[in-house]
Amino acid sequence: MSNAIEIEAKALVSLEDYRKLTQKFKDFPRYMQTNYYIDTEDRLLSKSGIALRIREKSGHFELTLKTPLSQGKLEKNTPISINEFAALRDFNEFPKGDTARFLTMLDFDVTSLRILTSLSTERIDIEYEGGLLSIDRNVYSGITDYEVEFEYNNLAGAEARLKQLLEENGIPAVFSKVTKTHRAMAAIGK
């Protein structure tokens, strides 16, 4: 299991503005990833401010638990096998290991965890201004949206750099605190 602190600024943008940015960064490769969001049917993790997902990227699967910090989120990442993913997807068997132990310590019943929905992202990643810029096209529950994220070592710096990039390209700098997890869950009424 690896731990990281995620600090990022993000903005939802229009299709036209997304196209401006993808044209500006057209020489960077795109890749696909799918996030499978996990919670109990009555959203006990979400109600506690916790997000849980499995990310599938290039045939690899990673279980990620996100818990809130005063600035950003603590991410606990654990690689899992395709068989562990399939057992959760098909039989609601949560993978054994550190994440299951951690959730159990917090009094969550891991046997009640389910994959509730998914979101697929076509992403461009760019090392930019000392951080990581991601330009995303997201598809979930028949909805497509466009998002720009900038990960940096502090939130004020992330917002300043993202605002500058957006304004330089004639794009309104309207930051969003609504995560992919929340948008995907809201789309299914969870």
**125-139 confidence digits (pLDDT tens):** 999 999 999 999 999
Q: State the average pLDDT over residues 18-40.
A: 97
Q: Is the pLDDT reported for residue 181 higher than 70?
A: yes
**What is the percentage of the chain residues whose pLDDT exceeds 70?**
97
- Could you please report the per-residue DSSP string of 119-185? EEEEEEEEEETTEEEEEEEEEETTEEEEEEEEE-SSHHHHHHHHHHHHHHTT----B----HHHHHH
Tens digits of per-residue pLDDT, 108-123?
Answer: 999 999 999 999 999 9
H or E element: which one contains 52?
strand 51-57
Residue 134 and residue 67: Cα distance in Å, rounded?
A: 21
Tens digits of per-residue pLDDT, 47-67?
Answer: 999 999 999 999 999 999 998
- Helix, strand and coil in the chain, % to nearest 5: 30, 40, 30
Query: Per the structure block, which two tokens stand in for 26?
Result: 């057209």
Give the chain's domain count: 1
Residue 30 and residue 133: Cα distance in Å, rounded?
A: 13
pLDDT tier at 169, thresholds 50, 70, 90: very high
Predicted local confidence at residue 2, as pLDDT: 67
Predicted local confidence at residue 3, as pLDDT: 66
Task: Indicate which CATH number applies to the domain containing 120.
Answer: 2.40.320.10
Residue 80 and residue 61: Cα distance in Å, rounded?
A: 6
Average pLDDT, the chain: 94
Predicted local confidence at residue 41, as pLDDT: 94
Q: Do 75 and 102 touch, CB atoms closer than 8 A? A: no
Residue 87 and residue 101: Cα distance in Å, rounded?
A: 18
Tens digits of per-residue pLDDT, 57-106?
Answer: 999 999 999 988 777 778 899 999 999 999 999 999 999 999 999 999 99
Residue 34 domain boundaries: 2-187
pTM score:
0.91
